[in-house]
Amino acid sequence: MSDVMEHFRKTILITGGAGFIGCHVVKRFVRNYPDCLILNFDKLTYAGNLENLSEIENENNYRFLKGDIVNEADVSKVFADYQIDSVIHLAAESHVDRSISNPMAFIMTNIVGTVNLLNAAKLNWAGKMNDKRFYHISTDEVFGSLGETGFFTETTPYYPRSPYSAAKASSDHLVRAYYHTFDLPVVVTNCSNNYGPNQFPEKLIPLMIHNIKNKKPLPVYGKGDNVRDWLYVEDHAEAIDLVFHQGTTGETYNIGGNNEWKNIDIVRHICRIMDDKLNRIAGESEELITFVTDRPGHDLRYAIDASRIKKELGWSPKHDFEKGIEKTIDWYLTNTLWLENVTTGEYRKYYEQQYDNRQ
Ligand code: NAD
Ligand code: DAU
């Protein structure tokens, strides 16, 4: 058992902390809670990038631990080496298109990996569950697809329609099962689409920014009519902080941006901002828009009713979309090396496979 913990009030294990949302959560917790030891446990898949954490990597209360949640021995070792008080579980395979081409990776990481963490927490916290917390980060995609109206609430029945969302739904059920069956002190949140700095450019917004910058085709699935509810990633990190500290054990909170956009409108919006920033002729980037074959089983619309977290914990998003998207575009235009580093190698191969047969 590491003796470093003597210096800290609590030890918080964050899984997937080198990924997009995880890095914002880790940075927030390292800075806001200097009396807590923050352990970042991450396998560093294609989506995990330690460059995301360079600002805090030398802080006294931060440690990076490379490990795979699917590997039971890796998970047991962290719990043996450190007296973990809480888990904030973000590690996952997160991209829907990849789940369509390789479902098994999603089953293993999102389901088996989650169960390995649940088992380790159950074993190590036996008889002392009172001051512990297992916080599972999930998605609004578990609820399925909305029509033109309506919102997902915490009681909307689950109806996942992609291997990604089915695997996340399965992990949510297992987390809640461990609460009811074993009294594991869990809390769950289901959030809408995040955007912001450090998102891997396979997801809609960073992909479009990257392609506009490089004058490459902008692949819009189907007619671009699908709707997503966009939330700035730091607002999600703030909500996670709040639920972690004040959420009621055993409960679920929906988190959303109250900010619905059709894909085609968001792509055009980014084109307009970037034409301006890159001193291009107005309308130049829109010419790059290419309608490609739709994603199989493509959910039409997601929209979150976030009134519970607002009413009970006083959270609402702070960033309005205009400012958030401009900040995001500026970040990608400034951090060219980050973008270059993540768009080489494996990602290029994926991009070719994913889009070659769609245009
Ligand atoms: P991401 O793909 O950017 O990052 C995932 C991280 O998990 C990476 O650092 C990766 O290395 C790590 N990881 C993957 N497999 C692992 C394994 N087997 N063991 C240990 N680490 C592993 O994902 P993200 O977009 O930051 O999403 C984080 C979490 O939030 C996920 O659980 C996702 O389902 C959920 N979520 C994401 C969004 C969104 O819009 N991105 C919205 C709601 C919920
Ligand atoms: O809703 C929360 C979810 O949001 C998270 O749980 C997932 O981890 C995250 O990846 C995201 O899923 P989406 O499938 O909604 O995000 P993505 O960025 O892949 O796509 C957003 C929309 O844009 C979706 O309707 C598909 C469309 N799209 C996406 C890509 C990558 C395109 O039209 N073209 C593209 O090239």
Closest listed ligand to the CA of 19: 1
- The percentage of the chain sitting over the pLDDT mark of 70, rounded to a whole number, equals 96
Q: How far apart are CA 218 and CA 54, in angstroms?
A: 31
Q: How far apart are CA 59 and CA 187, in angstroms?
A: 28
Which atom, in ligand 1's list, is nearest to the CA of 17?
A: 9
User: What's the 251 CA to ligand 2 centre distance in angstroms?
Assistant: 27
- Given the residues 42, 93, 141, 299, select the one marked as catalytic: 141
**Residue 160: per-residue pLDDT:** 98
User: What's the 47 CA to ligand 1 centre distance in angstroms?
Assistant: 8
User: What's the 286 CA to ligand 1 centre distance in angstroms?
Assistant: 31
- pLDDT value at 189 more than 70: yes
DSSP secondary structure, 32-53, as one string? H-TTEEEEEEE---TT--GGGG
**Residue 341: per-residue pLDDT:** 85
Degrees to nearest 5, angle at CA 26 with 21 and 30 = 155
Degrees to nearest 5, angle at CA 253 with 250 and 257 = 165
For residue 293, give the DSSP letter.
P
For residue 8, give the DSSP letter.
-
User: Where would I find the H helices in the chain?
Assistant: 20-32, 72-81, 96-101, 103-106, 114-124, 163-182, 204-213, 233-246, 263-277, 307-313, 321-334, 336-342, 346-356
Q: Provide mean pLDDT across the span 169-186.
A: 98
H/E segment holding residue 14: strand 10-15
Which atom, in ligand 2's list, is nearest to the CA of 203?
A: 18
Locate 295 and state its tokens. 């994603």
- Given the residues 42, 97, 140, 238, select the one marked as catalytic: 140
- pLDDT value at 239 more than 90: yes
Known active-site residue 141: yes
- pLDDT value at 116 more than 60: yes
**Residue 352: per-residue pLDDT:** 72
- pLDDT value at 357 more than 60: no
User: What's the 29 CA to ligand 2 centre distance in angstroms?
Assistant: 27
Residues having CB within 6 Å of any atom of ligand 2? 94-96, 139-141, 192-193, 203-204, 207, 219-221, 226, 228, 263, 295, 302
Q: What is the pLDDT of residues 35-88, one digit of tens each?
A: 999 999 999 999 999 999 999 999 999 999 999 999 999 999 999 999 999 999
pTM of the complete model: 0.97
Out of 90, 104, 188, give the residue to mutate to test ligand 1, the one with the largest number of ligand atoms within 8 Å of its CB: 90
Known active-site residue 238: no
Taking alpha carbons only, the member of 232, 255, 233, 234 closest to residue 243 is 255
Residues having CB within 6 Å of any atom of ligand 1? 15-16, 18-22, 42-45, 47-48, 68-70, 90-94, 109, 113, 137, 139, 168, 191, 193-194, 200
DSSP secondary structure, 73-125, as one string? HHHHHHHHHS---EEEE------HHHHHH-HHHHIIIIIIIHHHHHHHHHHHT
Which atom, in ligand 2's list, is nearest to the CA of 218?
A: 36
User: What's the 144 CA to ligand 1 centre distance in angstroms?
Assistant: 19
Which atom, in ligand 1's list, is nearest to the CA of 69?
A: 19
* Mean pLDDT value across the chain: 95
Taking alpha carbons only, the member of 303, 306, 305, 297 closest to residue 146 is 303
Taking alpha carbons only, the member of 88, 308, 95, 323 closest to residue 196 is 323
Which protein residue's CA is at the shortest distance from atom 7 of ligand 2?
Answer: 94
Q: How far apart are CA 190 and CA 339, in angstroms?
A: 28
User: What's the 202 CA to ligand 2 centre distance in angstroms?
Assistant: 9
Q: How far apart are CA 105 and CA 93, in angstroms?
A: 7
- pLDDT value at 5 more than 80: no
Which atom, in ligand 1's list, is nearest to the CA of 48?
A: 9
Q: How far apart are CA 193 and CA 317, in angstroms?
A: 13
Locate 97 and state its tokens. 């298109």
H/E segment holding residue 162: none
Known active-site residue 276: no
Q: How far apart are CA 244 and CA 135, in angstroms?
A: 7
Q: Provide mean pLDDT across the span 256-273.
A: 98
Residue 204 CB contacts under 8 Å (≥ 6 apart), including other chains: 228, 263, 266, 267
Q: How far apart are CA 234 and CA 231, in angstroms?
A: 9
Q: How far apart are CA 212 and CA 3, in angstroms?
A: 50
User: What's the 204 CA to ligand 2 centre distance in angstroms?
Assistant: 6
Domains of the chain: 2-199+229-258+297-319 (3.40.50.720)
